[in-house]
Amino acid sequence: MKRRSYAFIALLLLLGLSTAQVNRISIATGGTGGVYYPLGGGMAEVWSKYVPGVEASAEVTGASVENVRLVVSGEAQVALGTSGVVVQAFEGSGKFKGRPQPILAIGAMYPNAWQFVTVAETGIRQIADIKGKRVSTGSPGSGTAVMTRAILKTLGYEPGKAFKEFRLSFAEQVSALKDGTIDVGAWSVGLGPGSLIDLATTRKMVLVCMTPEEQKKVSAAHAYYKPFTIPAGTYNGQSEDCLTVGTPNVLFVKADADPELVYQLTKALFEHTEDLAKIHPAAKTISPDYVLQATLIPLHPGAIRYFEEAGYQVPDNLRPKK
C-alpha cells in the first residue's frame, strides 16, 4: 500500500512539474503565401527544441498591424512586423496616431522588398501605368497594405481615385492575377516567397519597377523605406535588375514581457540561425550585426542582455527609456 501511495504521489508531482514547466509561445506571423509564416514556423521549432519548457507555434494572421494588436493584448507573445508599422506603433503615429503601443524589439531580422507585380498581358510596365487599373494593395492590417498605400500616395496615386483598390492576401492576389480579376498586386516580403515563385512559374510574371527618381522620392519621404534592388534572375523570366525600396522586418514582444524568457528566446534564435536558413533563405541575414544596424525601435532588456553577453555594443538609441 505504501509503495502504491508513494508511486501515486510521485506521479502527481511529475505531472505538476511538467505542467508548470510548459510555457506556450504563440508567434504572430502573416499569410501562408509570404515569408513570415514559414520563418515563424522555423522559429517555433528552434525555441521548442532549444529553450527548456517552451512549446512554440506559428499562427497565421493578417500580418503587421494585426500582429501589434495580438502582442499587446497578450494573444501572441512574439510577432513579426515591417519596420514602418512597428515604428508607427511604438511612436503612436500613422495607423496608431495618438496611441503609442507598449512594444520592444528582439531585433530586425531581414529586409522586405516592395514587389509590385503584374502579368505580361496587362501591358503594365511602370507605376504610371496603373491609372484606372485594378490594383490590390495587400490584405487589410498587413505591412504590405501600409507600405503600398504610402508609396503610391507619395508618388501621386491615391487609392480609389487614381486606381480601383482591392485588398487581397498574397495567395488571393496570385489567383486574381491568373484569372484577370486584378491587374497588379503588391507584396512587401523577402525575395522568393512561395506565392511569387508559383506565379512566375505558371505565368509570364512582370515586376513593375521604380524609376531612379521614384525610388529617391519614396526614400526621402519615408525614413524606414530604403533603396533596394531585386537582382536579375530572382524570378523566372526576370532578365534585369528591378529598382524598388525595402524595409527591415522586426521581431518584437510586449514591453513588459519576462526579461528571462526574452533572453532565452533571443539566445536560442541567434545561436541556431543555421536551422532557420535551412527553412527559408531570408533567414540568412539574421545576425546580431543586422539587428544593431537595422532595428528602428528600442530593444527589449532581455535581448540587450544577450547581445552584450555575446560581446556586442548596444547603442543608446536601442535602449528603452526608463
Residues 93-104 pLDDT 10s: 988 999 999 999
Is the pLDDT score of 106 beyond 80?
Answer: yes
**pLDDT tens per residue across span 237-289:** 999 999 999 999 999 999 999 999 999 999 999 999 999 988 888 888 899 99
* Domain 112-247, CATH homologous superfamily name and number: Periplasmic binding protein-like II (3.40.190.10)
Question: The pTM is what?
Answer: 0.78
In a 10 Å sphere around its CB, with 0-12 CB exposed, 13-18 middle and 19+ buried, how is residue 316 labelled?
Answer: exposed
Residue range 23-111+248-318 in CATH 3.40.190.10: yes
Provide mean pLDDT across the span 172-179. Answer: 97
Residue type, 243: L
**Domain boundaries, given as residue ranges, for the chain:** 23-111+248-318, 112-247
Rounded mean pLDDT of 182-195? Answer: 93
Instruction: Tell me what pLDDT residue 260 has.
Output: 98
Average pLDDT rounded to a whole number, residues 195-212: 96
The yes-or-no answer to whether 23-111+248-318 and 112-247 have a common fold is yes
Average pLDDT over every residue of 220-243: 93
Residues 6+ apart with CB under 8 A from 315: 292
* pLDDT given for residue 19 in this prediction: 44
Average the pLDDT over 222-242 and give the result: 92
Model confidence at 10: pLDDT above 70: no
First to last CA, the chain: 59
Average pLDDT for residues 82-106, to the nearest whole number? 95
Condensed to tens digits (0 to 9), the pLDDT of residues 111-141 reads 889 999 999 999 999 999 999 999 999 999 8
Which DSSP state fits 127?
G
Please report the pLDDT score of residue 174 as a whole number: 97
Highest mean pLDDT of the ranges 30-34, 59-63, 134-138, 277-281: 134-138
Alpha helical stretches, state H, 223-314: 259-271, 273-279, 288-294, 301-309
Asked whether 178 and 199 are in contact (CB, 8 A), the reply is yes
Q: What confidence tens digit (pLDDT) does each residue in 285-321 have?
A: 899 999 999 999 999 999 999 999 999 999 999 999 9
Crossing angle of helices 143-154 and 64-73, in 10° steps, is 130
Whether 163 contacts 134, CB under 8 Å: yes
In which band, very low, low, confident or very high, does the pLDDT at 7 lie, cut at 50, 70 and 90? low
